[in-house]
Amino acid sequence: MDQQVALITGGAKGIGRGIALDLAAKHWKIAICYRTSETEAQRTTQEITARGGEALALRCDVSDPVAAKNLVSQVEQKWGRIDVLINGAGPYHRINLFDETVEGWNEMFSGNLHPIFYLAQAVAPGMKARKSGHIISFSMANADQMEAQPDVTGHYIAKAGILILTRTLAKLLAPYGITVNAISPGFIDSGSAPPQELAAMVKRIPAGYIGTIDDTVAAVRYLLSDDARYVNGANIQISGAWGI
């Protein structure tokens, strides 16, 4: 797996950063995409280099289909290919459905679901030509339950859509030796949720504790390994049995 190329959206911090640093230790070439986290992106690229990888940080709003396509082109022009696409970016907000704005509603889909479609279309030709590649996207632990979600409706629907899109891409790309899978975290101490919210959730998690970034990175590591070569269209829950 040495010297392979990964593109990670949302790679400047949190889970995306954890994945980038794990791949860096294996001497990967890693492009991280960020929208607003410039300081964190610079810090992460320095850490990637320090761990033995090659780093590239690119500012891009992947909700823009043209920008998403150009992002893939930039990485391919620099390193010749993309072996792994990690879809880690995704905005989130909590608001009652009847207080939601049209702009907020659209943002949940344009930020969480649509970029996976745009980026998959862009990376697929190269992966198909090489007959290898991996795409991993992030949903959420209870998205497959189709429960009512009055305060995170748009986000929840988008995350459920990711599971359908993942399966569809897997079926289309499996003949070319490409795997497409989803990871669905529950409550992970990644810096995206307030500490008080995480603390309040512990009693609802059967495992009895909050997950870590390392728990999620381990699932990514597995899906990129030869051990998972026949795992395609799967959804791995990282939640301590919450949300099932």
- Exactly one of 34, 92, 118, 156 is catalytic; which is it? 156
Cβ atoms < 10 Å from Cβ of 32: 28
CATH, residue 116: 3.40.50.720
Quick check: is 242 in a domain?
no
Q: Quote the percentage of the chain above a pLDDT of 90.
A: 91
Quick check: is 228 in a domain?
yes
On the CB side of 232, CA atoms within 13 Å amount to 18
Render pLDDT for 86-132 as a digit per residue (tens, 0 to 9).
Answer: 999 988 899 999 999 999 999 999 999 999 999 999 999 999 999 99
Sign of the torsion formed by the C-alpha atoms of 158, 161, 163 and 169:
negative
156: annotated active-site residue: yes
**What total of structural domains would you count in the chain?**
1
Taking 70 as the threshold, does the pLDDT of residue 1 lie above it?
Answer: no
Residues 23-32 have a mean pLDDT of 97
Q: 198: pLDDT confidence band, cut at 50, 70 and 90?
A: confident
Quick check: is 222 in a domain?
yes
Q: In this structure, what are the phi and psi dihedrals at residue 47, rounded to the nearest 5 degrees? A: -70, -35
Give CB contacts under 8 A, 24+ apart, made by 169-174. 169/120, 169/135, 170/232, 170/233, 171/233, 173/124, 173/127, 173/128, 173/133, 173/135, 174/232, 174/233
Render pLDDT for 139-155 as a digit per residue (tens, 0 to 9).
Answer: 999 999 999 999 999 99
Which residues span the domain enclosing 195? 5-237
Quick check: is 244 in a domain?
no
Residues 190-212 have a mean pLDDT of 89
> What is the model's pLDDT at position 34?
94
Cα angle: 54, vertex 137, 106; to 5 degrees:
115
Quick check: is 10 in a domain?
yes
Query: What average pLDDT is seen over the chain?
Result: 95
Quick check: is 219 in a domain?
yes
Quick check: is 57 in a domain?
yes
Residues 145-171 have a mean pLDDT of 97
Quick check: is 19 in a domain?
yes
